[in-house]
């Protein structure tokens, strides 16, 4: 089924340590990866919410913290999913035909289905949103994905690339990934805005994907000191990179240290949380298990909430003569993030209950499962 894949949902990976809990008894799932994905998908929803509010003029131009928050999130949140995907793919040895059939079902079909639905929605609501899309441009999804579905496009190519080199040594795989990451920068620049942004996004994703493949043994050793040191390094690298001449170019090679530090910190903290358990940990793991479903549907809700927030802010400002305070703004953004996470899960539950998850390109949710 669409959710039973090596992409955002691990299926029977090797156990990372004896003290890590399984997500469900007998499932063989590594809960630390689910927790990491849960944290990552919440950042995805939050980042898109903030990004949309910035683009729509919700925040005053002089306000810096929303832009800084988006910058920090975007440094590592999607690379995290590529690393986890590579980590999971490294333990799979399916025949090529079986793998391709599964990729068509779990990536290609959801990509086209939700891209078309999102495109039609953007066209219909273009007068309320920042979109300038026209129906005649829908065919461009063949090479120019609609946000946020570029990830599915890039991930499919990464999976195909890994299939081609999976029998090579880790050193060879990493060398090929580095070359693939560096080469496009030499021939894409002269082409300018030729709708080829997916190329550097894919080559960057492939490098992170292969880093995930070759680092399985190292991730098993992550603990408290790794978590603390990687967190500190992430802060340092993020500040240095932001202040550098490359600041903002997230696909640049100079962004890799900050991205990797953020990913290592996330995976390390996730392993520690998995060993301790708790309600919050279970909620993160639950979001991580169904992160694919959240990913493909959340944009509909964050866009809707963004429209409501902007209208509320405009109405409040006109009646009181003052801009909304920081606390009120943060509460509104947090509410939008919760809505953008919870409603996709609710929809996933309903379509799974009706056994329609495959038609909607969503993961199959065990409808009798609790957190």
**DSSP annotation string for 86-104:** HHHHTT----HHHHHHHHI
Which pLDDT does position 28 carry in this prediction? 64
* CB-CB contact of 8 with 81 (8 Å): yes
So what's the pLDDT on residue 326? 73
The answer to whether 205 and 154 have CB atoms below 8 angstroms apart is: yes
Determine the straight-line distance between the first and last CA of the chain, rounded to whole angstroms.
22
The residue whose two tokens read 């802060």 is 235
- In the beta sheet, which residues pair with residue 154? none
Rounded Cα gap, residues 269 and 96, in angstroms = 34
Per-residue pLDDT of the chain (371 residues; tens, 9 = 90+): 343 444 444 333 333 344 555 544 445 678 999 999 999 999 999 999 898 888 877 788 788 889 899 999 999 999 999 999 999 999 788 899 999 999 999 999 999 999 999 988 878 777 665 556 677 778 889 998 988 899 999 999 999 999 999 999 999 999 999 999 988 766 665 555 456 788 889 999 999 999 999 999 999 999 999 999 999 999 999 998 888 766 556 767 888 999 999 999 999 999 999 999 899 999 999 999 999 999 999 988 887 776 776 666 555 555 555 555 677 778 878 888 999 999 999 999 999 999 999 999 999 997 665 55
Name every residue whose Cβ is closer than 8 Å to that of residue 271 and which is 6 or more positions away in sequence: 16, 17, 20, 32, 219, 222, 223
Q: How far apart are CA 168 and CA 147, in angstroms?
A: 33
In the chain, the largest separation of any two C-alpha atoms, in whole Å, equals 66
CB 131 within 8 A of CB 162: no
Q: Which residues on neighbouring strands pair with residue 30, listed in sequence order?
A: 22
d(CA 313, CA 145) in angstroms, rounded, equals: 32
What letter does residue 105 receive in the DSSP assignment?
A: I
Per-residue model confidence (pLDDT) at position 277:
87
CA triplet 164, 259, 141: central angle to 5 degrees? 55
Tokens read off for 340: 């953008």
Residue 208, pLDDT score: 97
Can you give the pLDDT at residue 1? 37
């Amino acid at each position: 089924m669409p959710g039973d894949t090596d992409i955002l949902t691990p299926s029977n990976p090797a156990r990372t340590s004896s003290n890590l809990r399984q997500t469900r008894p007998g499932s063989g799932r590594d809960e630390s990866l689910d927790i990491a994905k849960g944290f990552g998908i919440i950042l995805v929803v939050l980042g898109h919410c903030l990004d949309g509010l910035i683009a729509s003029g919700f925040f005053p131009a002089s306000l810096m913290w929303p832009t800084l928050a988006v910058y920090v999130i975007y440094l590592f949140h999607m690379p995290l999913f590529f690393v986890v995907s590579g980590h999971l793919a490294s333990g799979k040895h399916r025949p090529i035909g079986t793998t391709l059939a599964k990729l068509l079902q779990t990536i290609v079909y959801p990509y086209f289905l939700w891209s078309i639905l999102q495109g039609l929605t953007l066209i219909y609501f273009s007068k309320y949103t920042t979109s300038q899309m026209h129906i005649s441009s829908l065919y461009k999804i063949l090479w120019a994905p609609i946000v946020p579905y570029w990830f599915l496009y890039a991930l499919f190519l990464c999976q195909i690339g890994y299939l081609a080199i999976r029998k090579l040594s880790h050193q060879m795989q990493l060398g090929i990934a580095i070359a693939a990451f560096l080469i496009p920068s030499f021939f894409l620049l002269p082409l300018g805005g030729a709708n080829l942004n997916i190329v550097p996004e894919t080559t960057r994703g492939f490098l992170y994907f292969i880093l995930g493949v070759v680092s399985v043994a190292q991730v098993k050793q992550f603990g408290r000191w790794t978590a603390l040191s990687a967190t500190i390094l992430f802060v340092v690298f993020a500040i240095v990179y932001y202040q550098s001449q490359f600041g903002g170019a997230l696909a640049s090679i100079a962004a890799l240290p900050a991205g990797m530090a953020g990913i290592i910190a996330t995976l390390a903290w996730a392993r520690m949380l998995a060993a301790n358990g708790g309600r919050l940990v279970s909620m993160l793991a639950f979001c991580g298990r169904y992160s694919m479903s959240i990913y493909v549907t959340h944009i509909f809700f964050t866009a809707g909430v963004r429209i409501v927030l902007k209208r509320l802010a405009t109405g409040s400002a006109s009646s009181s003569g003052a801009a909304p305070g920081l606390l009120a703004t943060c509460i509104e953004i947090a509410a939008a993030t919760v809505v953008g996470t919870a409603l996709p899960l609710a929809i996933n539950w309903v379509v799974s209950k009706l056994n329609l998850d495959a038609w909607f390109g969503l993961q199959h949710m065990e409808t009798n499962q609790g957190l």
